[in-house]
Chains A and B, each alone.
Chain A
């Protein structure tokens, strides 16, 4: 099957600084893909390239085979919804108004949102669990609530591709589970989702496939149990970590044991590898 969205040979420079170099990524329909990696690895930049918000210095992004840079913004918006990390809003919109803005790419210029748009927005709010906030001002919400409102806005956009930059970073654990399972169910209905995530365990539980990044490049990719190895985590995050299978949630679990010194690789890896063997055999 052709990938719904694909990036080939993406490099991005901000001034003299190289943020991304030679990144390949592809996601098909029905896939929930997680982007992982330490701070500054280039995850958010990659997501913004995929959303067409910034042009890569090199490489191309294609959506359904079309070059993203050649598409009109409105056509991109009909297929791709993007939820940024920063959801701060300075103006006093109500939650309803914000979610309804997700309908923008589907409305003719002079149209106002009709009954159908309100229904779609209402359903999106219902699903994310922010329906009760509808009449509140966005400026009165907490960071976590705001994040969920913007996810509802993205769902109201009815995209084929959902791009989320740390969608659960401000949420409590209950809402983290809720939002990630919502995104997962969305992909199981045929959509494609790509999310920058920081929680390795939640990523393993909910994503079909992961990309592990470090210093602007992809260091490993594949299903969670293949990506999470002590070696890969040590290379990417510079931590000593234990990787186990957690039967309770039926997924791979990572426990960070400590930071690695710059030159301490051999010993650190040795011990964690052993613990890995142990947990796997039990």
Chain B
């Protein structure tokens, strides 16, 4: 992984410091003979060779970080589809995946291997890819919009809303009625809580993001109380177990139908969010900076928050609450790739996908034959990583 290539202008050929003669206003001004050109843009006196490599360095940084993450993600997908109770060699896994894409590699594999990879593992892994990408992107958006590195995709209540929806569905015994019942309830819960949070925000007098953050915290604790209340009312052990499992987040028994259900909203949501990369950079500097740079602050924020909530709600609806992905991935990538959101947004989509696929793999193999819930693994891996980064970044002066 490359570090963060800064521009090359720190070379020893640093510009000579400008001399400033003390004089009266007019006199001092006239010493600045090379004033800043208002309309013409030719940068006199600056060798072009200094600037040219910088432009290329930026493109190279974007391309290399994204290529490396995409490469790692492909490897992780193959690993995740190969490893399990029925081991399938990597070359056969690749052949099966390629065959699905219509490419014949000539590598032989059995029907059973094809079934395990194609029907059991691949949909599960791709669900992890989509949900991880959604959580990574949504985490980056939330941290950026709130200018708070502790924000995560659920910070304004999407995840707890989904949880209330899902828990209600299970407690009413409706989750068995149809397999889409649970995700539908979860998604409805997510959207209802967003509507509630934004409704309260809009009705308030002070419509600042810190108010929104406080409303989110308030709604989150209210909804977790609701969940606890429903759990106490659970009729039997099995129902309680169902609720706990959903709250821990899992990828078991996810099918191609799950994948196709969430693919469009998540891919579309992420693609739209990428459009706002540069606006997000401006927002990070602060509201006044962004506004004076020409960003339509209120509208941009609202669009970004809605997009983040939509993709989070979609993802959480099919997997349950998976914590730490949306918190940890933006942090980690900010350390590696820097805070420029034109790179950070796509990088955290890829990084979130990578993290969740690997966490899912660990959850399956760590305590065989038992499966851990993937949300448990993300917390196990995420929490120490988070502590490490918190210490590291406070040393670097990033708060």
A-to-B contact residues, CB < 8 Å: 48, 51-53, 72-78, 80-82, 84, 86, 89-94, 96-98, 101-102, 104-105, 107, 109-110, 112-116, 118-120, 122-124, 126-127, 129, 131-132, 134-135, 137, 139-140, 155, 157-158, 160, 174, 177-178, 180-182, 184-186, 188-191, 205-207, 249-251
Contact = CB atoms under 8 A, between A and B. Distances in A.
B278 A96 contact: no
B46 to A, nearest CB: 5
Chain B interface mostly helix, strand, loop or mixed? loop
16 contacts: A52-B292, A72-B296, A73-B296, A101-B282, A104-B293, A107-B278, A115-B55, A119-B51, A122-B9, A123-B43, A134-B7, A158-B39, A177-B20, A180-B25, A189-B38, A206-B29
A126 B22 contact: no
Nearest to B285: A89
B11 to A, nearest CB: 10
Contacts of A107: 278
A157 B17 CA distance: 23
B237 interface: no
Nearest to A126: B15
Contact of A189 (B35, B46, B278, B289): B35
A148 B172 CA distance: 62
A189 B292 contact: no
B196 interface: no
B173 interface: no
Contacts of B339: 91-93, 97
A158 B294 contact: no
A51 B50 CA distance: 34
Given A92-B338, A123-B46, A126-B46, A188 B293 contact: no
B335 to A, nearest CB: 8
B367 interface: no
A73 B338 contact: no
B242 interface: no
Given A53-B291, A123-B43, A206-B25, A178 B7 contact: no
Contacts of A158: 36, 38-39, 41
Given A115-B55, A181-B31, A84 B289 contact: yes
For A112, A118, A137, the residue with the greatest tally of chain B CB atoms inside 10 Å of its CB is A118
B66 to A, nearest CB: 14
B293 A77 contact: yes
A119 B396 contact: no
